[in-house]
Structure 1
Amino acid sequence: MERHTIAVLVNDCPGVLTRVANLFGQRGCNIDSITVGSSEEAGLSRMIITTSGDDHQINQLMKQLRKLIDIISVTNLSKDPFVSRELALIKVNATPSQLVELKSIVEPFRATIVDVGPASLIIQVTGDTEKIDALLVLLQSYGILELTRTGSMAMARSAVSAPVHA
């Protein structure tokens, strides 16, 4: 099964998220991640949903999404080049004496240590799913006390723009 990233533009009103989530459940699809936030237009929100399935399943799911009340548009971003990022906060079991060692681990990932306590620290990292997963593997030996991730945020690439490395 392929992983798909679907963008859904919706009216910003109560119940829309519930209807979308229920549809996925009724169709037997699992939502791997979902992020919802304001869009470029007042009164509209954008949902970015990652899920797995074959092309037929995803096409059927998208047709059903389009029929729901308050859905403006549905786009399978996976069909064309797109940019995807997540944010993760990772609380690691560590003492201040391990700070330099941990900085050398997180630096190549462009991650930052945002809080240091007597027995733990919190690391912030932004990037694609694979980058965050790779950092988590390296931090396992320290003991991950808590982890929170945003889920994927994604946007289709412009047809004529060149990629910018940040």
Structure 2
Amino acid sequence: MQRHTIAVLVNDQPGVLTRVANLFGQRGFNIDSITVGATEEKGLSRMIISTGGSDQEINQLMKQLIKLIDCLSVTNLSENQMVSRELALIKVNAAPNQLVELNGIVEPFRATIVDIGPSSLIVQVTGDSEKIDALVTLLEPYGIAELTRTGSLAMARSIVAVPASVE
């Protein structure tokens, strides 16, 4: 099963998220992650939904989505190059004397320690899913007390024109 990232532009109205989620459930699709937020245009929201399915199944799902009230556009971001990021907060069981050691683990991931307590600390990391998974794996031996992740945010890459040779 292929992973797909779908962007759905919707009117910012009560019930839209429910209708979209219900459509996925009725069609037998699992939503791996869903992130909803404001857009550059007032009154509109963008949903970024990660799911699995064949290209044919996703195309059919997208046709059903666009028929929903308040859905203005549906784009399969996975069809082209895209930038995708997640945010995770990870509470790690750690004593203050382990701070230097843990900082050495999180630093290469460009993660930061955002809170330190007497028996734990919280690490903040952004990046693609694989990066976050790798950091979680390295922190597991210390004991992860709590983990929360956003859904994937994604945007199609801009097409960059290659400049003519400079002489």
Give the structure with higher Rg (CA): 2
- What code does the residue aligned with 1:43 have? G
Give the Cα separation in 2 of the matches to 1:56 and 1:28: 14
TM norm structure 2: 0.96
- The number of residue pairs the alignment matches comes to 162
- What code does the residue aligned with 1:54 have? S
**Secondary structure of the structure 2 residue equivalent to 1:139:** helix
User: 1:155 Cα deviation (Å)?
Assistant: 0.3
Q: Structure 1 stretches of 5 or more lacking a match? A: none
Give the Cα separation in 2 of the matches to 1:13 and 1:147: 30
**Secondary structure of the structure 1 residue equivalent to 2:136:** helix
Report what 2:143 is aligned to.
143
Report what 2:158 is aligned to.
158
- What code does the residue aligned with 1:155 have? M
Report what 1:43 is aligned to.
43
CA offsets, 1:93-142, max 9 Å, x none? 00110000000000000000000000100000000000000000000101
TM norm structure 1: 0.96
Runs of 4+ in 1 over 3 A off after TM superposition: none
CA offsets, 1:64-98, max 9 Å, x none? 00000000100000000000000000000001100
CA offsets, 1:7-66, max 9 Å, x none? 000000000000000000000000000000000100000000000111111011000000
Give the Cα separation in 2 of the matches to 1:160 and 1:111: 29
Task: State the superposition RMSD in angstroms.
Answer: 0.9
Report what 2:76 is aligned to.
76
Superposition pairs for residues 126-137 of structure 1, below 5 Å? 126-137=126-137
Give the Cα separation in 1 of the matches to 2:147 and 2:84: 20
Report what 1:118 is aligned to.
118
Give the Cα separation in 2 of the matches to 1:94 and 1:34: 31
